[in-house]
Structure 1
Amino acid sequence: MKFEIPFEEQIYKEQMTLNFNTTWSKNLKKNNKRLIWAIPFILLGGLIIYGENYLGFLFIAIGIHYLINFYDYYSYHKKSKAKFFELIEMEIIGQKNANENCIWEFNEDHFRYKDYKYEAKIKWEAFKSNRIIDKNIFLDLNVGNNSSYVLGEIEIGTENFIKVTEFVKNKIGQKTSAQQRV
């Protein structure tokens, strides 16, 4: 199967936002728990100190520790998000200037992707998994931190999307089964 897909800025932004949010969601939930723990520890410590027991300082210290960790991670997330979306904007400008279609090709022995910057021919063994989120298929590579190719149903139509997802599930599923036998 081969698809030539014109660049659509809105679709690209939605896919990259979905990719970013999916990647960060688990750690953000953990980080929010730090805040949920920090507030009661600080309040409890304050109440204990008010009752003239200095053990409350320990609770306040633990609460402040959670609060500092929450803030550090929150700041890191904000910086990463700004940097990520700055790169997205640069990519949008490059795609618009090039005015070329992206090529997505699904063959028996490899996946091929081509855009204005580069061309990649990747064997199916290089993929660790695939996910379908909000009518987008993510082809997750076995390298890096959540390196994925994202293709949406809106780009290729419902019928072709079903064909692609079944094909990819079979290819990546075969790889997983072969690895489990070894």
Structure 2
Amino acid sequence: MKFELEFDKDIYNKQMDLLFDLNWKKKKDYYKNSQYLGLVLIIIGIALIYKRPNIFGIGYVFVFFGLTNLIPFIYYYFKIRFFYKRMEDVKVKEINDFHYLKYMNLEFTENALIATSGEHFNLIQWSELIHYIIKENNLILITKNYEPLILGEIEVGSENFEKIIAFVKVKFEAKE
């Protein structure tokens, strides 16, 4: 199966946001809620230390557990923020690169997935792919290097998208 895909900036941005959410959303939501618990425990601990500093050190225990909830939030907040800024820079660079290359050819063969755009040629053997995900009408193929390849139903049409999904499922079942 061979397809000629036209680059659309809006589709590309939605797909990159989908990849970001798949990677970071659960962790971001978990640590977002843990910051409140951490702050409450720290406040209770400080109040206990201030009011009665010698009651078995319970205030220090509250402060300790509050910090164990708050420090991972701070760590992941800055890590996710840094990753998101870096991803935005990559998105802008990719959009500028594809501004000159309007079309991309994508071919699904028995041995490999072949992607060509302009003078760029990328051959990915089926053995190099480790997993596939179907999320929000997008097919995400993940390589051994954890590089995602994403193809949307809107890019190829619903009938072709179903054919591609069936083909990919057969290829992954044959690998196992």
TM-score after normalising by structure 2: 0.89
Match of 1:103 among 105, 113, 125: 105
Distance 1:148 1:173 in 2: 19
Please name the residue that 2:19 is paired with. 19
In the TM superposition, residue 86 of structure 1 has moved relative to its aligned partner by 0.9
Distance 1:60 1:107 in 2: 59
Give the partner amino acid of 1:72. Answer: Y
In the TM superposition, residue 23 of structure 1 has moved relative to its aligned partner by 1.2
In the TM superposition, residue 117 of structure 1 has moved relative to its aligned partner by 6.3
In the TM superposition, residue 17 of structure 1 has moved relative to its aligned partner by 0.9
Please name the residue that 1:133 is paired with. 135
Distance 1:110 1:32 in 2: 41
Q: Quick check: 1:95–1:116 contact (8 Å CA) kept in 2?
A: no
Give the partner amino acid of 1:74. Answer: Y
In the TM superposition, residue 27 of structure 1 has moved relative to its aligned partner by 2.5
In the TM superposition, residue 110 of structure 1 has moved relative to its aligned partner by 1.0
Please name the residue that 1:180 is paired with. none
Distance 1:115 1:7 in 2: 10
In the TM superposition, residue 112 of structure 1 has moved relative to its aligned partner by 0.8
Query: Kindly tell me: are residues 41 and 89 of structure 1, through their superposed partners in 2, closer, same or farther at Cα, counting changes over 3 Å?
Result: same
The secondary structure found in structure 2 opposite 1:83 is helix
Aligned residues: 173
Distance 1:117 1:132 in 2: 29
| Correspondence 1:87 to 2:90 | yes
| Correspondence 1:66 to 2:69 | yes
In the TM superposition, residue 113 of structure 1 has moved relative to its aligned partner by 1.2
Give the partner amino acid of 2:75. Answer: D
Query: Kindly tell me: are residues 21 and 131 of structure 1, through their superposed partners in 2, closer, same or farther at Cα, counting changes over 3 Å?
Result: same
Distance 2:115 2:73 in 1: 39
CA RMSD for the aligned pairs? 1.8
TM-score after normalising by structure 1: 0.86
Query: Which consecutive aligned stretches of 4+ in structure 1 deviate over 3 angstroms post-superposition?
Result: none
Distance 1:88 1:161 in 2: 24
| Correspondence 1:3 to 2:6 | no
Q: Report matched runs for 1:30-179 at 5 Å.
A: 30-49=30-49, 51-54=51-54, 55=57, 56-99=59-102, 101-116=103-118, 118-144=120-146, 147-175=147-175, 177=176
In the TM superposition, residue 123 of structure 1 has moved relative to its aligned partner by 1.3
Structure 1: stretches of 5+ with no match in the other structure: 178-182
Structure 2: stretches of 5+ with no match in the other structure: none
